[in-house]
Amino acid sequence: MNSLILRTAAPLIVTVMVLFSIVVLLRGHNQPGGGFIGGLIAAAAMAVYGMSHGAAAVRRLLRIDALGWAGAGLLVAIASGLVSIVTGDPFLTGHWLPGYLFGTPGLFDIGVYLIVFGAMTAVLLALEGDGAEA
């Protein structure tokens, strides 16, 4: 796609989409949203950027392989469950910091966000097919 309007507007659109995905991620416990939907929105932002600048530009923007983001998310999600095992509770039992500002359920949501973002971005980059492996 070779549209000057899309190439010009894409960075602003992507920024707004990523910020919105973070808002959806953070409000997911009390209202609709969470890591899965937030990750899908962030991956859609990468699709918009890829349509305007190409798959190679998306790979440069990510700095890490898309599946690397998914792997990091898997580690974060597993770590959120291991906290409860260390304290002697069942796997994935919620634990909160003092003041209830943040806890392991939020950490799990961040892991899901990264998994969905990385996996969907890898799929989108593979579909773009510029010759490089996703």
Q: What is the pLDDT of residue 78?
A: 94
- Condensed to tens digits (0 to 9), the pLDDT of residues 85-119 reads 888 888 888 888 887 778 888 899 999 999 999 99
Q: How confident is the model at residue 16 (pLDDT cuts 50, 70, 90)?
A: very high
What the block records as the tokens of 19 is 């910020």
CB-side exposure of 105: number of CA atoms within 13 Å? 12
Residue with tokens 């990510």: 62
* Cβ neighbour number for residue 123 with a 10 Å cutoff: 14
Global pTM reads 0.88
Burial of 129 (0-12, 13-18, 19+ CB in 10 A): exposed
Would you give the end-to-end CA distance of the chain in angstroms?
Answer: 20
